[in-house]
Amino acid sequence: MMFKSLIPFLERPPLYTKTAVPFWDDEHISKQMLKAHLDPDFEGASRKLAFIDKSAIWIKEIAPPSRYKQLLDIGCGPGIYAERFTQTGYQVTGIDFSKRSINYAIESAKKRNLDICYLYQNYLNMNLNSKYDFSTMIYCDYGALSIADRQIVMTAVYRHLKPGGRFLLDVFSMAKYYDFEEKQTWEIYQNGGFWRKEKYVAFNGCYRYPDNVTLEQTSIVYDTGAISYYLWNTCFTKEMLIKEAIDVGFKVYEVFGDIAGSTYRTDNTTISILLEK
């Protein structure tokens, strides 16, 4: 590949540029993502297992299944939270846009004899013809979306909740934004790696954007071509998050420091919010 044709893959892209292909369904990448999700000591895809267990217990306390039976888990992945929710008494529907994750979740539920409804669906086009008592969107998925897509998701969740229904989500905070380091690195993967099975070179760029947005960009160059993958994150103040919720009709029930119920502080790297319709 000529140097000139490489330049677009090394430059800072326009805000909210989307990856050209759905990498979460790529045969090789989705396998690596599932492995990361299931690693109990790795926080790159799901949180560590000890935190997940603590979080699931706390969630049952703030929205008990005796009152909020029907639960919609948005971005459920391989069912890590969905299984815990079911075991604590909820009737769970999980939705995710990764075929591999959904297939794993279905098989795992069968093995554990858990009655969970899993749907392979893009939550940006969510139309489930059902109303739920409670919905969750966990591990800062909300902030990975553009402003327009966040409004779509927030509105869709509101529409899918019964009156009095609750929505729990978490996002990264401004503390995370301030700690974010801009840098560019590169590495050769002689025997393949996370992004491809075969040899490739990865050019990594970490960039800050206005309005508290960060980007982790990985551009892969291999024998027959190149492609860039974009991981966007909006970091929120409490006031920003509250406004986006109120704008679609939600009421704020309470704000926390994380998805396990810690006290909200401005130096926490996450913010969790419990909303009510």
What pLDDT is recorded for position 36? 75
Per the structure block, which two tokens stand in for 212? 């508290």
Cα four-point dihedral sign 59, 173, 124, 51: negative
Predicted local distance difference test score (pLDDT) of residue 94: 97
Dihedral in degrees, nearest 10, Cα atoms 82, 87, 90, 95: 10
Q: CA geometry: angle at 86 spanning 82 and 91, to 5°? A: 100
Query: What own/partner pairs with CB < 8 Å and gap ≥ 24 does 102-111 have?
Result: 102/76, 104/34, 104/78, 104/79, 105/76, 105/77, 105/78, 105/79, 108/78, 108/79, 108/83, 109/79, 109/82, 109/83
The predicted pLDDT at position 7 comes to 77
- pLDDT for 45 equals 47
Closest CA to 245 of 181, 167, 136: 167
- Where do the CATH 3.40.50.150 domains begin and end in the chain? 39-173+236-276
Query: Looking at residue 43, what is its pLDDT?
Result: 56
- What's the confidence (pLDDT) of residue 44? 52
How do the pLDDT tens digits run along the chain, 277 residues long? 555 667 777 889 999 999 887 888 888 988 888 787 777 665 554 567 889 999 999 999 999 999 999 999 999 999 999 999 999 999 999 999 999 999 999 999 999 999 999 999 999 999 898 999 999 999 899 999 999 999 999 999 999 999 999 999 999 999 999 999 999 999 999 999 999 999 999 999 999 999 999 999 999 999 988 899 999 999 999 999 999 999 999 999 999 999 999 999 999 999 999 999 9
β-sheet bridge partners, residue 275: 167, 252
**39-173+236-276: CATH architecture:** 3-Layer(aba) Sandwich (3.40)
Predicted structure pTM score: 0.93
